[in-house]
Amino acid sequence: MNRREFLAKLVRYGLSAGALSALPVERLFAQEFYPRLAVPIIDAHAHLPGYSWDEEHTFDAIRHAKLCAISMAVMGDNNAPVGADSTYINAKESIDIVRQWEAQKLIKIVRRPSDIPLQPVLTGPIPVILSIEGGDAIGTDLERLKEFYDLGVRMITLVHGTTTQSGNNQIGNDMRQFSSSDSTDGGLTDFGFQVIHRMNRIGMVVDVAHASAQTLFDIASCTRAPIIDSHTSPFPSSVTWRPPSRLRLYNEMAAIVETGGVICTWPIGFDGDSFGRLTFADWVEEIKAFKSYFGIRFIGLGTDSGGGLPGYVEGWESISSVRRLLDAMRSGGFGPMEISAFMSLNFLRAFTRCHAIAQVSNYLNA
């Protein structure tokens, strides 16, 4: 790459040589794209159709939802059968399934930001952000990250233990095993720090969904690129302590925001003693509260395959129900660009910046 090509990349990704933090893609989209397009939607976390716990999660449902792109996460956690490399082998077998779908032109694996269109995909291959849920598939071999990247993986949820296991892996801890103030939460391991640096270097998005508080804080302290939580729900800002659970405190979300990252909320319904989220209107109020605290540009959508089973907000049936959330946001007073920001542009900004930082870093270190 010569100097002219390098400068062209800086311009393309909204960077200057001394300002890696300035990626005004939301302004670019607002000025050049929004007037001509419907609201773009990206689902930041889902699983493989036909290989998910959710029978309603199908290619037809995804297409009916009129998405621009969807994450498809293969499982890479320690739920796999016992064996030295079983999680790694199982993850690669699932990745092969996705790559076969690409060969059949059912999907197109997103390898760079420009592969994500800013309009619904009504015909042709569905753009898919290939992901891994569970860093156990990495084992203790950093070279597997480059191998996964070359296969098309662009995002990894680093921690994904279960309540029947320790909640730990070689990288960090699961929030379902540790309260927000648990003194035994050792956070990110030494190997985990190496994983973050390598993912930043190759342009892979770090997903902190399921990560314990200390693991999250450690990741946020060392990353060079935005991080995301691909599927969670916020506690109210008045709540300052979290038991082992999947809901995020505001101070945890603040650590993500400080990296320029995104907290993606999902359609799970819950009814607490002093607060709850049972309807689309409740979900919209939650987004409003987040907006008043952090601004609209740090929150997004991640459905976790999106529907069918009990425990969702009333009226959520499948990924197609995202249109009901869109209507509820309009009724709740959100403007077109705020809705677009939540539905896709915030995630796309973080995704783009991860890619751009890796491109510039690799050039400067070449």
Nearest to 163 by CA among 175, 146, 171: 175
Domains of the chain: 39-364 (3.20.20.140)
Q: Angle 322-331/280-294 helices, nearest 10 degrees? A: 60
Q: What is the pLDDT of residues 108-146, one digit of tens each?
A: 999 999 999 999 999 999 999 999 999 999 999 999 999
Is the CB of residue 239 less than 8 Å from the CB of residue 272? no
What pLDDT score does 31 carry? Answer: 40
Give the least confident one: 164-178, 241-255, 271-285, 326-340: 164-178
What pLDDT score does 305 carry? Answer: 79
Q: Residue range 357-366: average pLDDT?
A: 86
What pLDDT score does 36 carry? Answer: 45
How many other CB atoms are found less than 10 A from the CB of residue 157? 27
Nearest to 205 by CA among 305, 86, 124, 302: 302
Is the CB of residue 225 less than 8 Å from the CB of residue 193? no
What pLDDT score does 278 carry? Answer: 93
Task: Calculate the CA dihedral of residues 88, 89, 90, 95 and round it to 10 degrees.
Answer: 90
What pLDDT score does 162 carry? Answer: 54
Which CA distances in Å does 317 have to 55, 224, 309, 340? 11, 38, 8, 22
Task: Please report which confidence band the pLDDT of residue 28 belongs to, taking 50, 70 and 90 as the band edges.
Answer: very low
Cβ-proximal residues to 258 (8 Å cutoff; 6+ apart), any chain: 220
Q: What gap in Å lies between CA 150 and CA 215, rounded to an integer?
A: 27
What pLDDT score does 29 carry? Answer: 44
Q: Is the pLDDT of residue 20 over 60?
A: no
Higher pLDDT, 262 or 85: 262
Is the CB of residue 245 less than 8 Å from the CB of residue 175? yes
Cβ-proximal residues to 156 (8 Å cutoff; 6+ apart), any chain: 76, 131, 132, 133, 135, 138, 145, 148, 199, 204, 205, 206, 207
What pLDDT score does 252 carry? Answer: 98
